[in-house]
């Protein structure tokens, strides 16, 4: 049965507000930085195979912060290259934020930016209709597979675009995270059936394994302070609950029984630990790296 609750992604302004609060309350950015600085360089070492220009696709690049950190590592591994970067992002506000960030960041002359205000599905449709043949050396899909209808098909399409020695990087919440546990119990009530909102790396790995597609997996431990969710009437708590459930105005619109069940679940040891009077949610992520299809 389709969820009667409205999806948070229907309200771009509130989504961005809740996402910004999530970033402030979580260690997500730090765990991604640790991965980008510590592990990703090894994966990028063979990318391009000596080419002078690398083609990069950022699928759901958001405001560009993570993109620029990855470009920094790519540049260190391949100091003489230029980059043709396709930014694929449906939010006008996020594209604007990305461009503002570029205006404040020096030494990016080696990157050419092409802006595609598209969802992944729109980009794929455009690509196929125009019979595009360009190949990519590096494609990243960070925290975006929640917003596509068929994650397995989306992964297959972008993996098919990889050039020799290319790499596809996927980062999502881990199936072992608090999100995985929450969605396992409340998927039918919380998740938008038009997109794959409640997908975790467990689902993606299962799909890859069923197709015989190899991947490399890296754990990215992360946590999120959700203490404000349990303060009645807290505006920030309500924003965090929206983000955790992906439901617009969850506190006000969810049935009382569902709201009580979700709040109780969030405090369970499967989802969170309580320390020093704070409720700390398991926000662990996982990175998957795929090579080109044979």
d(CA 74, CA 43) in angstroms, rounded, equals 10
The 10s digit of each residue's pLDDT in 149-163 is 999 999 999 999 999
Q: Which of 15-29, 119-133, 189-203, 264-278 has the lowest mean pLDDT?
A: 189-203
Task: Evaluate whether 120 touches 161 at the Cβ level (below 8 Å).
Answer: no
Task: Give the pLDDT band (50/70/90) at residue 50.
Answer: confident
Instruction: Decide if pLDDT at 188 tops 80.
Output: yes
Task: Evaluate whether 176 touches 205 at the Cβ level (below 8 Å).
Answer: no
pLDDT in the model for residue 283: 97
Q: Which of 208, 250, 182, 194 is nearest to 8 (CA)?
A: 250
Label the pairing between strands 111-116 and 272-275.
Answer: unpaired
Instruction: Decide if pLDDT at 194 tops 80.
Output: no
pLDDT in the model for residue 21: 97
pLDDT in the model for residue 187: 85
pLDDT in the model for residue 1: 43
Q: Region of 277 please: left (phi>0), alpha (psi -120 to 50) or beta.
A: left
Percentage of residues of the chain with pLDDT beyond 90: 87
The 10s digit of each residue's pLDDT in 60-77 is 999 999 999 999 999 999
Instruction: Decide if pLDDT at 7 tops 90.
Output: no
Average pLDDT on 183-195 reads: 79
The 10s digit of each residue's pLDDT in 164-185 is 999 999 999 999 999 999 988 9
pLDDT in the model for residue 2: 47
pLDDT in the model for residue 193: 63
Chain mean pLDDT for the chain = 94
The 10s digit of each residue's pLDDT in 199-208 is 999 999 999 9
Contacts of 241 (CB under 8 A, 6+ apart): 229, 250, 251, 262
Task: Evaluate whether 293 touches 205 at the Cβ level (below 8 Å).
Answer: no
pLDDT in the model for residue 12: 87
pLDDT in the model for residue 196: 62
The 10s digit of each residue's pLDDT in 75-97 is 999 999 999 999 999 999 999 99
Average pLDDT on 136-154 reads: 95
Percentage of residues of the chain with pLDDT beyond 70: 97
Residue that wins the pLDDT comparison between 52 and 194:
52
Does the reported pTM lie above 0.85?
A: yes
d(CA 106, CA 208) in angstroms, rounded, equals 39
pLDDT in the model for residue 150: 94
pLDDT in the model for residue 195: 63
Apex 170 CA angle, 139 and 148, nearest 5: 90
pLDDT in the model for residue 181: 92
């Amino acid at each position: 049965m389709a969820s009667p609750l409205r999806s948070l992604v229907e309200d771009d302004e509130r989504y961005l507000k809740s996402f910004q609060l999530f970033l402030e309350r979580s260690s997500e950015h730090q765990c991604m930085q640790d991965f980008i600085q510590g592990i990703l360089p090894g994966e990028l070492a063979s990318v391009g195979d000596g080419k002078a220009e690398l083609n990069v696709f950022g699928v759901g690049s958001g405001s560009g912060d993570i993109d620029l950190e990855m470009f920094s590592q790519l540049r260190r591994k391949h100091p003489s290259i230029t980059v043709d970067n396709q930014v694929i992002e449906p939010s006008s506000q996020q594209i604007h934020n990305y461009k503002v960030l570029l205006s404040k960041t020096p030494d990016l002359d080696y990157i050419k930016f092409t802006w595609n205000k598209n969802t992944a599905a729109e980009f794929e449709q455009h690509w196929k209709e125009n019979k595009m043949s360009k190949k990519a050396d590096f494609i990243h899909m960070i925290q975006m597979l929640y917003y596509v209808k068929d994650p397995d098909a989306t992964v297959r399409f972008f993996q098919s675009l990889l050039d020799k020695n290319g790499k596809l990087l996927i980062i999502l919440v881990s199936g072992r995270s608090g999100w995985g546990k929450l969605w396992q119990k409340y998927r039918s009530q919380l998740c938008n059936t038009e997109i794959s909102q409640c997908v975790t790396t467990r689902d993606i790995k299962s799909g890859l394994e069923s197709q015989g597609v190899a991947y490399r997996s890296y754990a990215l431990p992360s946590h999120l302070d959700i203490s404000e969710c349990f303060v009645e009437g807290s505006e920030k708590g309500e924003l965090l609950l929206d983000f955790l459930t992906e439901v617009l105005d969850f506190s006000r619109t969810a049935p009382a029984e569902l709201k009580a069940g979700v709040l109780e679940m969030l405090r369970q040891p499967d989802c969170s630990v309580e320390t020093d009077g704070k409720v700390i949610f398991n926000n662990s992520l996982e990175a998957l790296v795929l090579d080109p299809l044979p």
